[in-house]
Amino acid sequence: MEVNKANLTKGFLSYVEAKRKQALYLKLFFVSATFIVLAVLYYSYSIVKHANDNVLVVSTGGEILPVESTELEELYKALLVTHCYSVSYYVNSFDVNNIKNNQARAAFLVNQADLNAVFGKYQYDKAYSDAINKGVVYRCNFDRVEDLQQVGNGSEYQVVFSSTLSVMSSNDTKKIRIVSNGTLIRVTPRYPENPTGYYFKNYVQEYFPLN
């Protein structure tokens, strides 16, 4: 069989060209990867530098305390408010379909002994009975943090916050202002039960009828 030299030459040149392109693409890949890594490192450095340029130095009694990022502190406060919102809802909101579920969710947010005191009051007031037998709906909405202080060498927060509880029956709606007071500590976040990483180690509620 006669070998077609032209076809062989064409095939060889195509092979050489393909190898050249492959080498070029490989070089471009490594250059791009290097650029991306450098960009990530620069971005990380910028974040750290920005955080260091925006720190809060707290001094008491002439002692300089460790600095903290203002952004980080704001994040912690936002998570704290979110935790209070969740406590307000799960401790005080219920209807015939979710009493047990909301009580279980609340147990991840507040210590059980203080929760039992709150649940015991609702039980004594026949709130759970009304929800089951009469279709009464309890809905609690977080209003605001009234007072916030760092205690325990800054590792804990003493928090006072308010909520509005709506008790909705077939006839009318009663509104009750709830003022909550407790000490928050940091714990390991647990999603979805406690995504904020806060926990009330002690907790009490006061009730003030609005109508």
- What is the full DSSP assignment across 133-154? HS--EEEEEEEEEEEEEEETTT
Beta bridge partners of 137: 168
Helices (H), the chain: 5-53, 70-92, 99-106, 112-124, 127-133
In this structure, are residues 198 and 184 in contact, taking their beta carbons and an 8 Å threshold? yes
pLDDT tens digit sequence for 153-183? 878 999 999 999 999 999 999 999 999 999 9
pLDDT tens digit sequence for 40-74? 445 544 544 454 444 444 444 545 445 456 777 88
Least confident of 32-46, 127-141, 185-199: 32-46
Return the pLDDT at 143: 98
CB atoms within 10 A of CB 145: 17
pLDDT tens digit sequence for 9-20? 666 566 656 666
In this structure, are residues 88 and 142 in contact, taking their beta carbons and an 8 Å threshold? yes
In this structure, are residues 205 and 159 in contact, taking their beta carbons and an 8 Å threshold? no
CA-wise closest residue to 209 among 165, 153, 169? 165
The whole-number average pLDDT for the span 93-112 is 97
